Structure 1
Amino acid sequence: MSNIAPGKPGISPTWTSSAKDIIGTSLLKSRVWFTVGYGILNEVYWPSCSMPQIRDLGFIVVVNGEWFEVKRLHNYTVSTPSPELLLPKILHKHKLFTLELEIIVDPLRDVLLIHYELKGKGAKLYSILAPHLGGHGKDNIGFINSKGLIAQKKDVVVMLAADKGFSKTSVGYVGISDGWQDFNQNGQMTWEYSKAGPGNIAMMGELNENKGVISLSFANTIEGTQTLAYSSMATGYSSIRNQYITCWQEWFKYFTFSKNDTLPPAFSNAIKTSMAVIKSHAGGTFPGALVASLSIPWGYTRQDIGGYHLVWPRDLVEVGFSMLICGMLLEAQQILSYLISIQQPDGHWIQNNFADGRPYWQGLQLDEVAFPVLFAVKLQEQNLIHDMQDVVAQMIKKAITFIVQNGPISPQDRWEENSGISPFTLSLTISALVAGASSGFLDKKDAEYALKIADDWNNRLESWVYVQNTDLDKEYQISGHYIRINPSSSSPQEGYVELRNRNGKQIKTSDLLGLDYLYLTRLGLRKPTDPRIIETTKLIDKVLCVTLPNGPYYYRYNEDGYGEHEDGSAFDGNGIGRLWPFLSGERGHQAILCKENAEPYLKALLASASIGGMLPEQIWDQEDIPQYGLYKGRPSGSAMPLIWAHAELIKLIYTYTTKKTIEQLDCVVDRYLNTKRKINEIYWYDDIECSSVSSNYTLWIQANKPFTLHYGLNGWQQVQDQPSHLIGLGMYGVPLNLENLSGQTINFTRRFNQNDWENKNWDILVN
């Protein structure tokens, strides 16, 4: 046997495809999560669902001197014992052989087991493992001992073992001396290297028998992986399989939603699968942490340690609401506890983080500050916060304080691409202010101030994100529409938005459309039948909707650049946005609220799933491009599964059956739909253009620290100084009664300390 493999360090590493057939994990002590794509094991995560440790574990079959890599045959089925049990059985079919694989995770150990059976005269089976320890394909070391094939990087170790053993083994550098290259060059396994690394490595083993069990074990020591692997295999596959099933069955005893006998079986089964998918994205060591997706979009082209296996507070709360629907109350409480634990000292949540709380992208999105408040108040409504009341109160106050001090402009919208005022983010922040004020966790002064800010923003909402009589309105014969985002403080009728991922291309603010406005009705700020909502819906149905054989689907916005290129090649920082199935869910909610037929949207969302029931982020919208695995109406190369999409499906079926949305709070509906409220105060924000104000208002000049207002009229006449006072939630203000100032201009500036002038003069016309 040759000793050291040649070709160090191997080719540049990438991940595998994000198109997952199915995913899974156990529900006891194990800290292993698996994914399956193209009928083989893809990324396996350990010791948290944020850390992938292998790229894939595939198989080569040799028959009659020919060799076949099964993932490239594209002729396989995936089945599970029941919709809620993610225990995949994969059957690869070829005229010369069949290969059956079943994958489980040992509930008691950090071990994944694959039961395999190869049938075919003269057939021989080989396994090939590509470790990416520590979330990267670089600097892996591989070697072989009597127990199996071992890869190591620092204190992370993975071992591939087989209960019937290997007759041959080899480890080499990917693209140079790995087992696949051996077959490609020699048509059989001729290399038997015993060591490779550090570098991008792959390990191959020729299995002694065509039926048996393969184990993949994870630990911090070589001895640990060996102990785990062999104790698991000694226990017996059937016994561990039964434990795996029992754990899931016990968990689903708490599941309540789809026990409704009136639901069509397709809907009921989809809810169960979706809940299992969501639960399978939950952190074991860190309860309440659910990553957005156990996938890396277009992973076969990149090496990204982040991918989507990170926690987004927005996705987490979207999922939390679906947990409530399904009766998974403990999980909902765990999500709230986790959110409290990762809240930043100033009250906001960072864009996303690893399951253990370490930050990854650190952008700021105000909807991710508002969502946890709504979720906490929803749990309070259902009497689910119990002993958490003190910490929930602190969380809500910090979040509400952050919103009033930093809104209504958000540095990033929900698509993480633009700063500005979005109807989606605005809907959430206004609702959060009302919810926080109504929760009883704020003192009277802070609660009153929060409600006044909410009323002010709600009153001004259309002036920020609604346009009328534009060219688009005239083309589609409507009077006006809500826009996707207003990136500046100027009128939404003016200005341009930079389109991300489109090489700096811009579009008129008034021409940029999205479904973001639909949360205005979903949260109870506007009636579903509001003419502005109805007309905008007509517009997006014409501009953003594509009806495929399986139903209507929607783009995030016109001119989106987050998706494959025209030729089907992977998104690389630029591209063309494709259809997002969960947006069919958002549109379906609006249909239900308007007492229209929502089944086309429901069926479209369901039809986008993979063969294992996984819902994708995007589906392909053009003619088939087989070389990239792109087929019209089927998942594209973006994330799959996306737990946000699974949560949206559950929530849509809930709205379908109850005619109300789970996110809606009575306090918001009562304030803006059931009560006519006179708004007579308007609050100054430095970054919101406010060049003119009606004399019907009291204008509050405010800041987040004490100041002296230095102001006058009509070119600094009748100059006065007035000290500010605390008006609530850390904000200080001075009220100006405009009743008798119509036609006049107020000039003002502020002094924050004795000589600390803001060095800017402001002018406001009173009309």
Structure 2
Amino acid sequence: MDDAATPADAPGQPGLSPAWTSSAKDAVGGSLGAPRLWFTIGHGIVNEVYYPRIDIPQIRDLGFIIADGKGFWSEVKRVADYNMRFLAPGVPAYEITHRHDHYSFRLRVSPDPRREVLAIEFHLDAAEEFRAYVLLAPHLGATGHGNRAAVETHAGRRVLVAAQGPFALALAVVDQAQRDALGAASAGYVGDSDGWHDFQRNGALTWAYDRAGPGNVALIGELPRAGALGLGFGSSATSAATLAVASLLQPVENILRQQIAEWEGWHALRSERYAPPIDLPAPVAEEFLVSTAVLRTHLDKTYPGAMVASLSIPWGDTGDERGGYHLVWPRDLVSCAGALLAFGAEAETRDTLRYLIATQHADGHWNQNQWLGGKAFWTGQQLDETAFPVLLAATLAERSALGGIRVEQMMHRALGFIAATGPVTGQERWEENSGISPYTLAVLIAALVEGSAFLPEKPRAWALDLADFWNSSIEAWCSVRGTDLAARLGVNGYYVRIAPPDVLQRGAAAMDGPIPIRNHSEQADVPAKELVAVDFLQLVRFGLRQPDDPLILDSITVADSLLRMETPYGPVWKRYTADGYGEHDDGAPYDGTGRGRPWPLLAGERGHYEVAAGRDPLPFLLAMCGMASPLGLLPEQVWDGPEIPARDLKFGRPTGSARPLAWAHAEFAKLVISRQLGAPCDRPGAVWRRYQGQRPRARRSFWSPHAPIGDMPQGTSLVVMLPKPARVRWRSGDGPETEATTEDTGLGLHAAGLETTELPAGSAIDFAWRWCDNPDAAQDGGRVIVGGTATGG
């Protein structure tokens, strides 16, 4: 675009500080075919549109003003009186009807299945003097800074365009006869010379600026009473305009029919591959269809198989940051891919596995989260995110659905990393604290068992022995007994949210240690024994513990007392005590601190426990349905305080957190299928066959510099695991000193097995070692007590 200053340049550069829209989405969508375009709808208008990847939003919103030219004007999203429906069940194509005393304004919205264009058919029903105006706020390159906007002519047609860097958009307008129909138009700076402020000050569109930028810019254009909009994207304004105009040279009905036919075909093919759920109440059946479509929509096309956490920006209207939810989390990704696989989308799941293998680090781990291309964003170490891809590959293999993907190397690397760094994780699944989490530990044990089948014989045996030891140690490391909280609630003990790393050496005494809570408005360090979560339910879901295990039942009592909230729709749970991730008490958005609110997906996790216990999870499915948006989008969190109408916060209804949360839709869909199967659909098969919910008796106990246990069960062999070959010298009490040479485990570690199985309880085992490549330098060793308090003796 021409930078030369002319009288047609808009004043007010650079405009107000930009912000995104609210995360309160009505709907999300995309096509199944090649076009790399995704869209969201909120407050009855189009919000962020993503192109050419699902992690790059290119506009803030596309809305409308209705005016009579005599001073009356109305912005349809602020009237907030509209209804919305799917044009076909489970298909991301929508009809929205806005109502006002002076008008009715209907929209039909769908992506073009063949072009990177969003098509919007519109029809204004009002007195003759009324006109509609389209408002467009570009945020090209995922920011409102530095955009340029203009009213230009391309191939003889007037269009609204914007560009920044390698991205451009064009908005074309036609009437019902497919003729160029853009009326009066203007470009301006937000907060000064944009079209909305023209109406606010003058009651009409009076400005006609040809261009604005660089800055936070907006476009406005007069529309005919009926017609269509094409919002196209490309690498230049010309290419975007070509696509937009070409898309509109057909009835929008054609676009809608093709979109519906392709999605209905996908649903039909999916249903052929698995038995569709039966005996579902209508709300659950409808939500299941929505969830399948939401999950499929979240798949990227440049990087097939990759999925971001949400097509929304939590509390997005408070700033211009793109938001971490436009990243790939391996944990969320595997959960979503597992749901796709459970309802028959095998090809999509294989794409996810290929993507994960391609982004695995050489040492075996995955990033905490990353951009779609694999570049790390945050750099925490979360061991469950190294374990989950192993489980996905094993599940595909168990279904004979790998499709020729070789997973042995990936499995070997991942299990080596788990053995070399676990059981202590740098961060648990809520991404805040280091230690030993029952949830993470359950996933690690499952990965060791499932992945071992793909290893050679020696590393397979070591992986299974390590899994057995960790499984036998869960209660010693992750639970407490006899606390004040236990006494108050009338239970013997309970699982904690996360144990400090030194629980390996100090046992129960470590549970007095502090866990820092940094996201809460009242930041504090809380003793581990006072932190409770629902994460222990994963032990039952994955077949490591029985549903009626006394400690599981006691932990449910504690969690329900502290975390459960009853809504008009059913129960829902908070993540953990002292959580701060959520709005402040006055409803102000989360800003690094706040107060944690309940998560609907945790109702789904509780439903999976009910399935494992042989009970019907239907109440939990219905609760999740009730907490969804009118068109079925499941939020990350729901409000649990007094209603605050000014902030649109209603009890039991979505907060300003992510909506939709893909993970929540995956949990819902899996629970529907688990209900039909009578068992958790993602329970790892080999894990269940090995443990059947029973605590194993380990034959080996493992000490390593990264996981230095302080004691071990009597009757086990102590294994000293080291990063390279060594000679380990050890003795017990006054007994003779003995030397053991390590052997290569095949997992990247070297292990020396000490003959300790006959030692009586209370025996102290002291050891040290010398590296084989430097025998003159003695290394500090350790001491392990047989049958000490950490293991429960």
1:4 counterpart (5, 9, 29): 9
Return the offset for 1:662: 1.2
User: Map of 1:402-551 to 2, 5 A cutoff?
Assistant: 402-437=417-452, 439=453, 441-490=454-503, 491-492=507-508, 493-502=511-520, 504-551=523-570
1:105 counterpart (108, 111, 135): 111
In the alignment, does 2:148 pair up with 1:135? Answer: no
Match of 1:227 in 2: 242
User: Map of 1:644-663 to 2, 5 A cutoff?
Assistant: 644-663=663-682
Match of 2:702 in 1: 683
**Distance in structure 1 (CA, Å) of the matches to 2:85 and 2:320:** 30
Structure 1 residues 376-418: Cα deviation after superposition (integer angstroms, max 9, x where no partner): 1111111101311x3x111111111111111111111111111
Return the offset for 1:54: 0.6
Return the offset for 1:189: 1.5
Instruction: Give 3-state SS (helix, strand or coil) of 1:254's partner.
Output: helix
2:388 counterpart (371, 374, 379): 371
Match of 1:344 in 2: 361
More deviation, 682-691/467-476: 682-691
Match of 2:29 in 1: 24
Return the offset for 1:710: 4.4
Return the offset for 1:306: 3.8
Match of 1:66 in 2: 72
More deviation, 501-510/526-535: 501-510
Judge conservation of contact 2:36–2:302 (CA < 8 Å) in 1. Answer: yes
**Distance in structure 1 (CA, Å) of the matches to 2:346 and 2:391:** 16
Match of 1:730 in 2: 748
Match for 2:201: what amino acid? Answer: Q
**Distance in structure 1 (CA, Å) of the matches to 2:258 and 2:697:** 61
**Structure 1 residues 677 and 277, CA, compared in 2 at 3 Å: closer, same or farther?**
closer
Judge conservation of contact 2:760–2:786 (CA < 8 Å) in 1. Answer: yes
Match for 2:36: what amino acid? Answer: R
**Structure 1 residues 653 and 3, CA, compared in 2 at 3 Å: closer, same or farther?**
same
More deviation, 419-428/5-14: 5-14
Structure 1 residues 570-589: Cα deviation after superposition (integer angstroms, max 9, x where no partner): 00000011110110111111
User: Map of 1:393-404 to 2, 5 A cutoff?
Assistant: 393-404=408-419
Alignment RMSD: 1.9
Judge conservation of contact 1:137–1:200 (CA < 8 Å) in 2. Answer: yes
2:205 counterpart (174, 178, 189): 189
Instruction: Give 3-state SS (helix, strand or coil) of 1:159's partner.
Output: strand
Return the offset for 1:599: 2.2
Match of 1:124 in 2: 131
Match of 2:41 in 1: 36
Instruction: Give 3-state SS (helix, strand or coil) of 1:166's partner.
Output: coil
TM-score by length of 1: 0.96
**Structure 1 residues 571 and 258, CA, compared in 2 at 3 Å: closer, same or farther?**
farther
Match of 1:384 in 2: 401
In the alignment, does 2:204 pair up with 1:174? Answer: no
**Structure 1 residues 436 and 93, CA, compared in 2 at 3 Å: closer, same or farther?**
same
Match of 2:254 in 1: 239
Match of 2:267 in 1: 252
Return the offset for 1:592: 2.3
> Number of residue pairs matched?
761
Instruction: Give 3-state SS (helix, strand or coil) of 1:163's partner.
Output: strand
Return the offset for 1:287: 1.5
Match of 1:265 in 2: 282
**Distance in structure 1 (CA, Å) of the matches to 2:606 and 2:697:** 31
Match of 2:3 in 1: none
2:291 counterpart (259, 274, 282): 274
Judge conservation of contact 2:350–2:403 (CA < 8 Å) in 1. Answer: no
Return the offset for 1:267: 2.1
**Structure 1 residues 276 and 757, CA, compared in 2 at 3 Å: closer, same or farther?**
farther
Return the offset for 1:252: 1.3
Match for 1:690: what amino acid? Answer: I
Instruction: Give 3-state SS (helix, strand or coil) of 2:249's partner.
Output: helix
More deviation, 461-470/266-275: 266-275
**Structure 1 residues 2 and 168, CA, compared in 2 at 3 Å: closer, same or farther?**
farther
**Distance in structure 2 (CA, Å) of the matches to 1:750 and 1:195:** 74
**Distance in structure 2 (CA, Å) of the matches to 1:508 and 1:160:** 57
2:316 counterpart (294, 299, 313): 299
Match for 2:783: what amino acid? Answer: D
Match for 2:401: what amino acid? Answer: L
User: Map of 1:69-88 to 2, 5 A cutoff?
Assistant: 69-88=75-94
Match for 1:132: what amino acid? Answer: H
**Structure 1 residues 521 and 225, CA, compared in 2 at 3 Å: closer, same or farther?**
same
Return the offset for 1:120: 1.3
**Distance in structure 2 (CA, Å) of the matches to 1:462 and 1:685:** 20
**Distance in structure 1 (CA, Å) of the matches to 2:287 and 2:738:** 66
**Structure 1 residues 102 and 687, CA, compared in 2 at 3 Å: closer, same or farther?**
same
Structure 1 residues 415-468: Cα deviation after superposition (integer angstroms, max 9, x where no partner): 11111111111001101100111x3x2100010000000001001111111111
**Structure 1 residues 187 and 641, CA, compared in 2 at 3 Å: closer, same or farther?**
same
**Structure 1 residues 469 and 675, CA, compared in 2 at 3 Å: closer, same or farther?**
closer
**Distance in structure 2 (CA, Å) of the matches to 1:755 and 1:524:** 45
**Distance in structure 1 (CA, Å) of the matches to 2:632 and 2:680:** 24
User: Map of 1:306-345 to 2, 5 A cutoff?
Assistant: 306-345=323-362
Match for 1:659: what amino acid? Answer: G
**Distance in structure 1 (CA, Å) of the matches to 2:599 and 2:7:** 51
Instruction: Give 3-state SS (helix, strand or coil) of 1:372's partner.
Output: helix
**Distance in structure 2 (CA, Å) of the matches to 1:201 and 1:757:** 67
**Distance in structure 1 (CA, Å) of the matches to 2:684 and 2:762:** 41
**Distance in structure 1 (CA, Å) of the matches to 2:119 and 2:332:** 30
1:673 counterpart (671, 679, 692): 692
**Structure 1 residues 711 and 674, CA, compared in 2 at 3 Å: closer, same or farther?**
closer
Return the offset for 1:23: 0.5
Instruction: Give 3-state SS (helix, strand or coil) of 1:255's partner.
Output: helix
Match of 1:200 in 2: 216
Structure 1: 5+ residue stretches without partners:
none
Structure 1 residues 482-530: Cα deviation after superposition (integer angstroms, max 9, x where no partner): 1111132223532121113125312121111111111111110111111
**Structure 1 residues 415 and 678, CA, compared in 2 at 3 Å: closer, same or farther?**
closer
**Distance in structure 1 (CA, Å) of the matches to 2:531 and 2:749:** 34
Off by >6 Å, runs of 4+ in structure 1: none
More deviation, 299-308/256-265: 256-265
In the alignment, does 2:172 pair up with 1:152? Answer: no
Instruction: Give 3-state SS (helix, strand or coil) of 1:167's partner.
Output: coil
1:566 counterpart (549, 571, 585): 585
Match of 1:613 in 2: 632
More deviation, 401-410/61-70: 61-70
Structure 2: 5+ residue stretches without partners:
1-5, 176-180, 788-793
Return the offset for 1:722: 4.2
Instruction: Give 3-state SS (helix, strand or coil) of 1:749's partner.
Output: strand
Return the offset for 1:532: 1.0
Instruction: Give 3-state SS (helix, strand or coil) of 2:646's partner.
Output: helix
Match for 1:464: what amino acid? Answer: W
**Structure 1 residues 132 and 750, CA, compared in 2 at 3 Å: closer, same or farther?**
farther
Return the offset for 1:692: 2.8
Match of 1:91 in 2: 97
2:50 counterpart (45, 50, 63): 45
Match of 1:593 in 2: 612
**Structure 1 residues 533 and 703, CA, compared in 2 at 3 Å: closer, same or farther?**
same
Judge conservation of contact 2:546–2:694 (CA < 8 Å) in 1. Answer: no
**Distance in structure 2 (CA, Å) of the matches to 1:756 and 1:234:** 82
**Distance in structure 1 (CA, Å) of the matches to 2:634 and 2:48:** 18
**Structure 1 residues 299 and 258, CA, compared in 2 at 3 Å: closer, same or farther?**
farther
Judge conservation of contact 1:44–1:54 (CA < 8 Å) in 2. Answer: yes
Instruction: Give 3-state SS (helix, strand or coil) of 1:579's partner.
Output: coil
TM-score by length of 2: 0.93
